[in-house]
Amino acid sequence: MAQVALESVTKVFPGGVKAVDDIDLIIADQEFIVLVGPSGCGKSTTLRMIAGLEDITAGQIYIGDRLVNDVAPKDRDIAMVFQNYALYPHMTVYKNMAFGLMMRRTHAGWDNPLAAVVAPGKYRQARQERRAIRDRVNGAAEMLGIEELLRRRPRELSGGQRQRVAVGRAIVREPKAFLFDEPLSNLDARLRIEMRGELKALHRRVQTTTIYVTHDQEEAMTLGDRVVVMKDGRVQQCATPFEVYERPVNHFVAGFVGTPPMNFLSGRLRRAGARLAFDDGEQRLTLCPDHQERLAGLADRPITMGIRPEGLCPTQAAPGTTLRVQIGVVEPLGDRMDVLASTPRHQRIVCRIDIRQRVREGEIVDMQVDMNRVHFFEPGGAGRNVNLPAGASQG
């Protein structure tokens, strides 16, 4: 097992696309880190550079203490699980899992009975190698609950079973690090959730450094010890799931993480006597004491306020903490419902509320805003979270 470190890593493809732009990242030994971001943000390219499948244009990559920039993929001591699993169709599950180890045998030429007579020592070692491989494959198969499948071929397996075999093939190698590239994206929603749990439990057991790529923020948040949110080839934020959710460094991260996404309201901070309020041009919301203090210097400047859907709740609360909205569509979700609402200034505000609340389409409702949990950003899609100190939480 090992730490993996990226120092100022950049990738420019022939033709000029800068897929990865000066990334610094240290993945601790035994850590499970997830690279997440929208399509084209450079997460797969980053993973492929760590694997050695893609040359790097500038920077250094270390696996353990070893600089691997010029080391071939097979010599990096990593195991990769791809989206399409890349199993050998003509081999049984056992052979698929054993294949990498078989290729590394040093006494493979001494398996035959003649060797037992002419070179008994080498024959014995060859037998030990085979036994060690068998034990590793059986151990991994047991860990993944696929012992019954070892004699089958990939075409005789379900998607979830194939996925387990691909993971098993990675485990038996006992590599320094696992690299996963969207390994669950071919599975249906229910199986994805099940496999997600299994991968997490597996990591707790084998504790191998793991770098996992997905475009699914929910998968990232449930799996990662830390989450690396990327956009346009750059790391936006690298932090624990809690930190990324509760203290997003900018508008992009705030909008990317969370389902349904955060609501953004544009307006200004206005002074009303000694107190500061957010004013969207129609309605005012008084800031909580903590924000009053931190944002005192931003009065009258344009600002974006972020409210998570669960931070809104229909209520009779005092003016200054409620937003008057008109209810649009109501989407029941079992114990909760998503309510699409609007104000004269903002056409789409999503509120996630308890199913027992009574709201009807077309109705005007006062929604209490949890002002302790709102966020403020500089204007624009990349606007910095002004609640946080500059440069906060980058790693």
Which residues, numbered 301-320, are part of the site for ligand ATP (CB under 6 A)?
A: none
Taking the least distance from each CB to ligand ATP, the nearer of 136 and 192 is 192
State in angstroms the smallest separation of the CB of 54 from ligand ATP: 8
The structure tokens 């037992």 sit at: 116
Smaller CB separation from ligand ATP, 140 or 220: 220
- The residues, any chain, with a CB within 8 Å of residue 279's CB and separated by 6 or more, are 267, 268, 269, 270
Stretch that binds ligand ATP, among 10-18, 136-144, 305-313, 316-324 (CB under 6 A): 10-18
CB closer to ligand ATP, 214 vs 263: 214
C-alpha atoms less than 13 angstroms from C-alpha of 150 in its C-beta half-sphere: 18
* CB of 214 vs ligand ATP, minimal distance in Å: 8
Site for ligand ATP in 28-57 (CB under 6 A): 37, 39-45
Q: Quick count: other Cβ atoms within 10 Å of Cβ 392?
A: 14
Q: Is 286 a binder of ligand ATP (CB under 6 A)?
A: no
Chain residues 206-245 in contact with ligand ATP, contact rule CB under 6 A: 215
Helix (H) or strand (E) holding 266: strand 263-272
Closer by beta carbon to ligand ATP, 40 or else 261: 40
Element (H, E) at 212: strand 209-214
CB of 181 to ligand ATP, least distance (A): 8
Q: What element of type H or E holds 226?
A: strand 226-231
Give the range of 14-22, 143-151, 296-304, 385-393 binding ligand ATP by CB under 6 A: 14-22
Residue 346 CB, nearest approach to ligand ATP (Å): 30
Pick the closer one to ligand ATP by CB: 79 or 229.
229
Length of the chain: 395
Q: List the structure tokens of 226.
A: 């830390």
Q: How many CB atoms lie within 10 A of CB 258?
A: 19
Taking the complex as a whole, how short is the minimal distance between the CB of residue 180 and ligand ATP, in angstroms? 13
Contacting residues for 142 by C-beta, under 8 A, at least 6 apart: none
Residue nearest to ligand ATP (CB): 44
**Nearest distance in Å: CB 177, ligand ATP:** 18
Answer for which of 4, 6, 9, 19 binds ligand ATP (CB under 6 A) is 19
For ligand ATP, the closer CB: 154 or 183: 183
* Number of neighbouring beta carbons within 10 Å of residue 8: 12
If the CB atoms of residues 183 and 309 are measured against ligand ATP, the closer one turns out to be 183
CB of 72 to ligand ATP, least distance (A): 19
Residue 218 neighbours by CB under 8 Å, 6+ apart: 259
Record the tokens describing residue 241, joined without a space: 């799931």
Taking the least distance from each CB to ligand ATP, the nearer of 235 and 295 is 235
- Say if residue 241 is preceded by a cis peptide, omega within 30 of 0: no
Residue 210 burial (CB < 10 Å; 0-12/13-18/19+)?
A: buried
For residue 50, give the 3-state DSSP assignment. helix
Binding site for ligand ATP (CB under 6 A): 13, 15, 17, 19, 37, 39-45, 215
